[in-house]
Structure 1
């Protein structure tokens, strides 16, 4: 009987730890990238959880806004993002990884409505996961209910940040 109770307790604790250490699945979200205005960079790689990513290319604007985007269906809310980009003005290749706050999944499911400048209220709210890459290698990850600024009721919550390393572009 003691072995059965110990086995059940071990199983319950294991399930609890697994449940607390992962995030849930998002039916639909949009992931995008941006950089500070005036800091044109070339995105080489933006990959979430070593599984899926945002297509790479020219990124010219705007920090905390979803520039180039990708729609994502039925994916687990990511726990990390790995990025690499070329800043031609510095002739540097930046690379780094940022852990994403697991509470982002909760934020994504509870984002509030927002309104347009016309006063119309948007009722179909989709989470925007935004990755920002700064001039000196800063990496930020935000969750928002809109792709950009200019909406009444916009939520922009930081989920993670880090500092990229760099190497010379040869």
Structure 2
């Protein structure tokens, strides 16, 4: 009996580790894109976990703010994002992939409230925003926040969940 129990312990530990390594589902969240002000780009693709993404198009503003967005229901919190964009000013196509910190799932489930400046009202219906930032020299950032932007809000948080440097090729 002791041998049987001893053989089950490593299996139980392995199952526990596998279970802890993945992220859980989020009931509702919003994913968006942004770039530095004055750096107009054309988003070609933003794809999470090789399965779902944000519609592509013009992105003109604002770093660490959710520009063009997509709403997501009952979706697994992503573990990676692959992006590709065209920077017309440099005539370059940037592309890259960034791993997303698995701690983001727990942060998304426990984002704090914020206060509206104009009314003093405390916002209790907090939506997690996952923002992908694309910089003018190929930086890729992934942020999690409790509000689309900081305008008219006190208490907005911004957690960086990943970053990386895109590669580029000439736009022929």
Instruction: Give TM-score scaled by structure 2 length.
Output: 0.95
1:102 aligns with 2:102: yes
What's the offset of the Cα at 1:149? 1.6
Q: Which residue of the partner structure matches residue 159 of structure 1? A: 161
Unmatched runs of 5 consecutive residues or more in structure 1: none
The whole-number CA distance in structure 2 between the counterparts of 1:144 and 1:131 is: 11
Any residues of structure 2 matched to 1:55-74 within 5 Å, and which? 55-74=55-74
Which secondary structure does the structure 2 equivalent of 1:64 belong to? coil
The whole-number CA distance in structure 1 between the counterparts of 2:51 and 2:18 is: 20
Unmatched runs of 5 consecutive residues or more in structure 2: none
Structure 1 window deviating more from structure 2 (116-125 vs 22-31): it is 116-125
Instruction: Give TM-score scaled by structure 1 length.
Output: 0.96
CA deviation string 1:71-114 (max 9, x = no partner): 01111111100000000000000000001111111110111111
What's the offset of the Cα at 1:3? 5.1
Q: Which residue of the partner structure matches residue 42 of structure 2? A: 42
CA RMSD of aligned residues (A): 1.1
The whole-number CA distance in structure 2 between the counterparts of 1:5 and 1:93 is: 57
